[in-house]
Amino acid sequence: MPPLDSSPIRNFDALSEDHMPEDIVARETQIAEMRACLSPAERGLKPIHAWLHGRPGTGKTTIARYVTSQLEHNTRVESVYVNCWQHSTLFMVLQGIVEALRIIVPDNANTVVKLHRIRSKMKSSPLIVVLDEIDKTEPKERDRILYTLSSVSTVGTVAISNSRSSLFELEDRVRSRLGPTLIAFDPYRVQDLYRILEARVKLSLAPTAYSAEVIERIATLAAGDARVAIQTLLKAAQLAESQGTRTISVDQITEAASAARKLKTQYTLAKMTEHHKLLYDLVVSAPQTTTSVLWASYQQRCQALDKRPIAERTFNLYIHTLVVKGLIERERAAVLGNVYTVRPAA
């Protein structure tokens, strides 16, 4: 066992999910686009609505938090962050805003009362409302949330979702009232992830624990996802620590990358409905199946479990969501019609 001071990990905080990086890598365009949307607020005007979209781990939450907190720091513009996975109805979103703005409302206040108080408090000052994970809300509730908030003359919303499709699922009147600026977050390139990891290792690991090859390997295995990259680094360092090695090895990276991918799957599925999970399990148990076979086996499974199946249109939507989340892959099958082959993501 090496002495304690040879432990590869010096500081866990820099590898945690809530760590706010000082330098944001490779997102200059998105930061500039978001600032352009929010800049009217600096002149006391309603911000332009923004819609941030991209696959998991592409920096959407980080950039939204970074830009709004800089704005709050440098100006008097207020912003509120609401996670719609936890606050999935209009009632809960308004409650989140009321609490963040420290507005006192009676315990039994309904949405009308809360909205009225928010309007009065923000009568002449702009407010930015970040609605993270907006795609976790039911479409009807999503319409209500966005329609209501966009009707407040001083509020600009920053909605965050994994794909643009949740914007196009909105009712026409809601989408046209919102008219958001779309800001795309593409998966990171290997060299971007390298730079993200490089900054983190300097803060968190002993210099002897890693090399350029270690960082490059982790960046390559993460397939564009910064969360997977950071979790792989953390797991590999923990393995090195528990196995008493000073430097992270190739085997430790391989094991850590597979653990990080599993974690990503669990993390993503945990935020989805039981029908998404059922469909995902069916794809895993019959890799390389077609969507028509999957639809039939899904209905059988529901019958066996005594559950009401979702409609076929919703089934297609759920398959699309599983693809967008990076959990499964889909390819058009070599037969006529809208039949696809599906398999678990590599």
What sign does the dihedral 161-164-169-174 (CA atoms) show? positive
Is residue 230 within the footprint of ligand ATP (CB under 6 A)? yes
Other beta carbons less than 10 A from residue 305's beta carbon:
10
Taking Cα atoms as reference points, which of 78, 176, 173, 167 lies closest to residue 130? 78
Is residue 268 within the footprint of Mg ion (CB under 5 A)? no
Question: Which one of ligand ATP, Mg ion, none interacts with residue 30, CB within 5 to 8 A by kind?
Answer: none
Dist. CA 55–CA 52, nearest whole Å:
10
Whole-number minimum distance, CB 64 to Mg ion, in Å?
8
Whole-number minimum distance, CB 69 to ligand ATP, in Å?
13
Cβ closer to Mg ion: 61 or 252? 61
Residue in the structure block whose two tokens are 């207020």: 78
Window of 53-61, 121-129, 192-200, 247-255 that interacts with Mg ion by CB under 5 A = 53-61
Is residue 30 within the footprint of Mg ion (CB under 5 A)? no
Q: Which residue is nearest to ligand ATP (CB)?
A: 59
String marking each residue 22-41 x if it binds ligand ATP according to CB under 6 A = --xxxx--------------
Cβ closer to Mg ion: 61 or 321? 61
Whole-number minimum distance, CB 160 to Mg ion, in Å?
6
Whole-number minimum distance, CB 174 to ligand ATP, in Å?
22
Dist. CA 231–CA 183, nearest whole Å:
26
Question: Which one of Mg ion, ligand ATP, none interacts with residue 196, CB within 5 to 8 A by kind?
Answer: ligand ATP
Taking Cα atoms as reference points, which of 299, 317, 315, 319 lies closest to residue 307? 299
Cβ closer to Mg ion: 27 or 114? 27
Q: Which of residues 43-62 bind ligand ATP (CB under 6 A)?
A: 54, 56-62
Whole-number minimum distance, CB 64 to ligand ATP, in Å?
8
Cβ closer to Mg ion: 26 or 103? 26
Whole-number minimum distance, CB 263 to ligand ATP, in Å?
12
Whole-number minimum distance, CB 265 to ligand ATP, in Å?
12
Is residue 61 within the footprint of Mg ion (CB under 5 A)? yes
String marking each residue 189-208 x if it binds ligand ATP according to CB under 6 A = -------x------------
Residue in the structure block whose two tokens are 């479409």: 139
Q: Which tokens go with 33?
A: 């686009």
Q: Which of residues 133-162 bind ligand ATP (CB under 6 A)?
A: 162
Is residue 326 within the footprint of ligand ATP (CB under 6 A)? no
**Positions in the binding site for ligand ATP (CB under 6 A):** 17, 19, 21, 24-27, 54, 56-62, 162, 196, 226-227, 230
**Positions in the binding site for Mg ion (CB under 5 A):** 61
